[in-house]
Amino acid sequence: MTEQALPPISLDLRAQVAVVTGAAQGIGRACALLLAAHGAVVIVADRNPALAADVAAEAIAAGGRAEPLALDVANEAQIVAGFAAVAARHGRITALVNAAGVISPNVPADQAEGDDFDRVISVNLKGTMLCGKHAAKQMLGAGGGRIVNIASQAALLSLPNQSLYTASKGGVVALTRSQAIDWASHGINVNCICPTFIRTPMAEPMLQDPAVLRAVTRRIPLGRVGEPRDIAATALFLISEMASLMTGQTLAVDGGWSAGEPGLDIR
């Protein structure tokens, strides 16, 4: 077939059954709503079931298909049971967005605590690993699927006082590459998004400090912090047929943060 004869690339996700973790608010919520708006059946998975139900209702009110799933991503038994229930109701999971995440206390590395390390790693890294593993089990030998992991720009360039969070997100970037290689021959694409500061309940308390907002905005070459939809749009791209030849990749959606320092006074 010549290029001219090919049909337009589609963002139609009506054949997709997509689990989005951490979908009760923030980035996960935006991903859930956008994927539902593009036709996917969306499973709004979160450890906060009341808020997850609200998001599912919002997607349905907008004409989409969605349902909540109470899920702690650090609990493998819950993942196994929850994902089996999704398969029983909707057929197999075809897409997964791992957006559940937590931050660590803002302290210098010499004051970081082992208990905080365990908590942050268990959600951000182990949760991403376990959800990917059990979603992949429904994709292996069944036509493949798409997995999108949400890491952070912190995995690319460190911020002060966030060693535990940074370590967890660096792990997500490396895990993405490994899963991609292990599952590529089964048609499973695994990619990763590294957002800059995004206006969500997680980041809003920091951004409400005018000095922090000023410093962060100055540091971002495009001159603004992100909105949850900026990340949801990239997740949509990675799940759509547009990204069919991409796997194991890390996309910085950071307004140019990782491209360089815009404020250096060099003439």
Ligand X SMILES: NC(=O)c1ccc[n+]([C@@H]2O[C@H](COP(=O)([O-])OP(=O)(O)OC[C@H]3O[C@@H](n4cnc5c(N)ncnc54)[C@H](O)[C@@H]3O)[C@@H](O)[C@H]2O)c1
Positions touching ligand X (CB under 6 A) are 21-22, 24-28, 46-48, 71-74, 99-102, 123-124, 127, 150, 152, 195, 197-198, 200-203
**DSSP string of 127-147?**
HHHHHHHHHHHHHTTTT-EEE
Of 57 and 142, the one with the shorter C-beta distance to ligand X is 57
Of 35 and 198, the one with the shorter C-beta distance to ligand X is 198
Question: Min. distance of Cβ 263 from ligand X in angstroms?
Answer: 20
Question: Min. distance of Cβ 234 from ligand X in angstroms?
Answer: 12
Of 39 and 122, the one with the shorter C-beta distance to ligand X is 122
Question: Min. distance of Cβ 123 from ligand X in angstroms?
Answer: 4
Of 47 and 265, the one with the shorter C-beta distance to ligand X is 47
Spatial distance between the Cα atoms of 25 and 31, rounded to a whole number of angstroms: 10
Question: Min. distance of Cβ 74 from ligand X in angstroms?
Answer: 5
Spatial distance between the Cα atoms of 111 and 204, rounded to a whole number of angstroms: 24
H or E stretch at 70 = strand 65-70
**Which of 17, 116, 152, 165 is an active site residue?**
165
Whether 94 is a known active-site residue: answer no
Spatial distance between the Cα atoms of 226 and 233, rounded to a whole number of angstroms: 12
Q: Dihedral (C-alpha) 260, 262, 264, 265: value to the nearest 10 degrees?
A: 140
Q: Which two tokens stand for residue 79?
A: 């993942």
Active site residues: 165
